[in-house]
Amino acid sequence: MHASTPSTVTPSAWDLVTVPARQGLEAVDILRRGTGDGIGPVLHDDGCGTLGFLVPPGTAAAWDVPGSTCTRTDGRGLSLVAPEPPVEGSDWLLPPGEADLATDPAVLRAALGEAARMIEAADSCR
């Protein structure tokens, strides 16, 4: 078994946008189908109920997307070292090193909006 060398993402200050897993997974698909740029590391909780997108610091101050929250971390001494996630009870969906430094908030906002519309349309067809 060979161990991978941890990769560190800096800076350690970032904000975290948390969304329900279904919407978050749709958004990840949307972002990956696009240019592939602008998506940073993504966490999921151990129960797979939520996804967390790492976004640049300061995003929380203006974040107002319904159904999501954005938490300011101010770094809190956390560094992003793959493969260990920075939040207990979580794991990486897209680990650092396989993604950009952080997800562009404007790109994420658009993807989450599109994902919500897709989910609403799918649910109304039942």
pLDDT in tens, 32-50: 888 666 788 999 988 879 9
Residue 13: how many other CB atoms lie within 10 Å: 15
At 55 the pLDDT is 92
Q: Is the pLDDT of residue 6 over 70?
A: no
Task: Please give the Cα distance from 1 to 80 (Å, whole number).
Answer: 23
pLDDT band at 82 (very low <50, low <70, confident <90, very high): low
Q: Six-digit token pair at 28?
A: 């990840």
- Spatial distance between the Cα atoms of 30 and 36, rounded to a whole number of angstroms: 9
